[in-house]
């Protein structure tokens, strides 16, 4: 019952913080957020599951399965559990939520109780997304995550916050509707009476799908795959469905940007692995070339867009588009290193992007500007913050002994050896070139803003950041190094969970 305890406690903590006086809300929220961190680390220490939970032969850890509702002949269950794919993301969500809350103490100076309550409410729903194994239950959590993020952007965001919040909400909601239709088209034409994801996956593997809407079973699977892929691709986001992301990041307050890049984007890649690449591997392998094109275009185009930006937040935002392209390439490779590396990249990117957004936020809190041309020589005035920012940037570039290097190495090795991607070495080589562009724009931005003679185009005095601003950066940097030095902290359980997917996907 530890999953229920974690989710229930976090919801309760959100309510308590919302009712607390503003002057105590930040510290109360941070204190309460530490319990889910402890709970997720306990789950990691006690983890015992084998294989992939959605396939025959796999088992779940901390599983609870209780009938809930019956509607139109289908049983809806409270069905939760974790495997080696979901557990690292749960740990990421709890750790990043606590650090984001701590980083919000300085910039959030109005309606604090509501802000921190919404942060905890979002965390609770994220835990639900990564643990729910009944589609109806999972979809409730999936949609509920959007609500606090919408308000965090719309209330505490920048000058164009309402536009960015509405764009984020409309894009992701339409995508969710398309995805919902695609999944339901499968369930209603299978011989199942449940929305349980393992039951649906097994039924699809056994060939029990009947045709519908004038489509053959094969055509129906292809259409459903396309609908779900589109729905999840918007959340990732994959080019060309990425246009909502820069606006949301730029206008969102820094702690919300940290959660958006660090965890919410992983909802899309996690769902792609759970649904598209596990349930419909025959369709994924048939169109592996097309999916690989989406992945490589996202890598290169996202990096080129970042190269053209002058706003530090936009640079990091477009970097996320590029990084998520690597995840898609690893997933479609259907190799242990490819799929495992893609899952590992979700965690690595969550840590590094969270660090980068926090560091940019700390600099903005002091300088009140994020524009590259407005400042230089920040290293002399904020050495600790700048040092950590530089280290995070090198992590983005794939510096050895950091988590980003390990993730990209696994993905490139897995993609290069893929037997399902046409001309896989060529796709891999083009994607690897993205690292060169990443290094170019990050080094250029750092050289212009952090080094050289000090200059600032605002009237604010630049001083060293407070401890509660730099402490989250230090923790994230240490976590990034730890996963880079010892990737098996998570990679062993990830490999065990993804191995069954390879057999059904034709990989190795």
Q: Can you read off the two tokens belonging to residue 435? A: 């690292």
Please check whether residue 53 is in contact with residue 47, taking contact to mean a CB–CB distance below 8 angstroms. Answer: no
* Tokens coding 361: 């936020």
pLDDT (tens digit per residue) in 38-88: 999 999 999 987 777 777 666 788 999 998 888 778 889 999 999 999 999
Secondary structure of 142-205 as H, E, C letters: HHHHHHHHHHHHHHHCCCCHHHHHHHHHHHHHHHHHHHHHHHHHHHCCCCCCECEHHHHHHHHH
User: How far apart, in whole angstroms, are the C-alpha atoms of residue 54 and residue 136?
Assistant: 16
Is residue 407 scored above 70 in pLDDT?
yes
pLDDT in tens, 110-122: 899 999 999 999 9
The C-alpha atoms of residue 295 and residue 306 are separated, in whole angstroms, by 17
Residues across the chain: 508
CB atoms within 10 A of CB 341: 33
**CA-CA distance, 36 to 487, in Å (whole number)?**
23
**Residue 506 scores a pLDDT above 60:** no
Q: Which of 127, 128, 153, 91 is nearest to 351 (CA)?
A: 91
Measured distance CA(166)–CA(169) in Å, rounded: 5
- Find the domain containing 448 and state its range: 2-505
Residue 508: pLDDT band with limits 50, 70, 90: low
Contacts of 488 (CB under 8 A, 6+ apart): none
From the list 214, 235, 221, the residue with the least C-alpha distance to 286 is: 221
Q: Determine the number of helices (DSSP H) and then strands (DSSP E) in the chain.
A: 22, 4
- Confidence (pLDDT) at 505: 58
Distance (Å, whole) CA 91 – CA 93: 6
Report the candidate in 258, 262, 333 with the shortest Cα–Cα distance to residue 292.
333
Cα–Cα distance measured from residue 178 to residue 172, given in angstroms and rounded to the nearest whole number: 10
Contact present, 81 and 64 (Cβ < 8 Å): yes
What letter does residue 210 receive in the DSSP assignment?
Answer: P
Report the mean per-residue pLDDT for the chain: 91
Above 70 in pLDDT, residue 467?
A: yes
Q: Residue 375: what pLDDT?
A: 86
Q: Two tokens at 110?
A: 């109005």
**Residue 282, phi then psi, degrees to nearest 5:** -65, -40
- Are 258 and 96 in contact by the 8 Å Cβ rule? The answer is yes
For the cut 80, the answer to whether the pLDDT of residue 180 exceeds it is yes
Please state the rounded mean pLDDT for residues 335-347: 95
The residue among 34, 82, 88, 85 whose CA lies nearest residue 483 is: 88
**Whole-structure pTM value:** 0.94
pLDDT value at 250 more than 90: no
pLDDT tens-digit profile of 126-178?
999 999 999 999 999 999 999 999 999 999 988 889 999 999 989 999 999 99
First to last CA, the chain: 36
Instruction: State which H helix or E strand residue 68 sits in.
Output: strand 61-71
pLDDT greater than 70 at residue 277: yes
| Alpha helices by DSSP H, 65-134 | 86-103, 112-131
Number of domains into which the chain is organized? 1
């Amino acid at each position: 019952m530890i999953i229920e305890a974690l989710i229930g406690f976090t919801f309760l903590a959100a309510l308590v913080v919302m009712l607390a006086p503003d002057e105590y809300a930040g510290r109360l929220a941070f204190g309460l957020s530490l319990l889910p961190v402890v709970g997720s680390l306990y789950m990691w220490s006690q983890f015992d599951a084998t294989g992939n939970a959605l396939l025959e032969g796999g088992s779940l850890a901390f599983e609870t399965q209780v009938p809930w509702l019956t509607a139109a002949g289908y049983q809806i269950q409270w069905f939760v559990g974790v495997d080696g794919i979901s557990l690292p993301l749960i740990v990421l969500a709890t750790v990043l939520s606590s650090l984001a809350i701590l980083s919000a103490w300085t910039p959030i100076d109005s309606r604090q109780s509501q802000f921190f309550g919404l942060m905890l409410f979002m965390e609770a729903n994220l835990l639900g997304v990564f643990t729910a194994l009944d589609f109806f239950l999972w979809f409730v959590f999936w949609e509920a995550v959007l609500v606090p993020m919408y308000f965090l952007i719309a209330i505490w965001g920048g000058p164009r916050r309402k536009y960015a919040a509405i764009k984020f909400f409309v894009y992701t909601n339409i995508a969710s509707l398309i995805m919902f239709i695609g999944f339901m088209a499968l369930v209603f034409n299978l011989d199942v009476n449940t929305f349980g994801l393992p039951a649906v996956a097994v039924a699809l593997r056994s060939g029990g799908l009947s045709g519908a809407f004038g489509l053959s079973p094969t055509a129906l699977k292809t259409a459903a795959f396309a609908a779900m892929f589109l729905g999840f691709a918007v959340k990732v986001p994959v080019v060309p469905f990425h246009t909502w992301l820069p606006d949301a990041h730029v206008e969102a307050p820094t702690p919300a940007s940290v959660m958006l890049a660090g965890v919410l984007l992983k909802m899309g890649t996690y769902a792609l692995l759970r649904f598209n690449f596990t349930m419909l591997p025959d369709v994924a392998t048939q169109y592996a070339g097309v999916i690989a094109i989406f992945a490589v275009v996202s890598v290169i185009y996202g990096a080129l867009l970042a190269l053209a930006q002058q706003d530090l937040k936009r640079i990091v935002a477009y970097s996320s588009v590029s990084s998520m392209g690597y995840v898609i390439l690893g997933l479609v490779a259907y190799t242990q290193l490819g799929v495992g590396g893609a899952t590992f990249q979700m965690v690595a990117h969550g840590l590094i992007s969270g660090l980068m957004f926090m560091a940019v936020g700390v600099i903005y809190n002091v300088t009140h500007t994020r524009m590259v041309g407005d400042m230089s020589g920040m290293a002399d005035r904020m050495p600790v913050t700048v040092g950590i920012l530089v280290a995070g940037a090198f992590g983005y570039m794939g510096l050895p002994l950091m988590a980003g290097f390990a993730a990209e190495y696994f993905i490139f090795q897995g993609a290069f050896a893929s037997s399902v991607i046409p001309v896989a070495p060529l796709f891999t080589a083009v994607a690897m070139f993205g690292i060169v562009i990443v290094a170019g724009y990050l080094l250029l931005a750092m050289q212009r803003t952090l080094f050289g003679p000090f200059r600032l185009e605002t009237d604010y005095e630049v001083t060293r950041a407070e401890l509660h601003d730099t402490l989250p950066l230090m923790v994230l940097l240490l976590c990034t190094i730890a996963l880079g030095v010892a990737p098996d902290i998570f990679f062993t359980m990830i490999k065990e969970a993804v191995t069954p997917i390879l057999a059904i996907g034709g990989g190795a």
